[in-house]
Amino acid sequence: MLAENLENWAKREREEGRLEGQQIGIQKGRLEAAQNTARHLIKLGVLTDGQVAQATGRTVAQVEALRSVESR
């Protein structure tokens, strides 16, 4: 009984860890995609930093930082 309870607990903990890892991966992927989109929009040179921020969900400060990196 105790061994079974420990095994079930371990399975639940592993599953929770797996789900948490998936959520972190999804979030990182979304952030990376938004950053890449912002980079592409910056390279087009048509939009202001505010417009790029609005289109990508990034902040103006983040877009400004990307723009300064891209201009190097």
- What are the φ/ψ torsions at residue 15 (nearest 5 degrees)? -65, -45
CA 14, distance to chain mean position in Å, is: 23
Residue that the structure tokens 């639940």 belong to: 12
Work out the pLDDT band at 18, boundaries 50, 70, 90: very high
In one-letter notation, the amino acid at residue 27 is Q
> Rounded to an integer, what distance in angstroms lies between the CA atom of residue 15 and that of residue 7?
12
Q: pTM to 2 decimals?
A: 0.74
Domain ranges of the chain: 1-71
pLDDT tens for 43-53 read: 999 999 999 99
In one-letter notation, the amino acid at residue 43 is K
Whether the Cβ atoms of residue 70 and residue 36 lie closer than 8 Å to each other: no
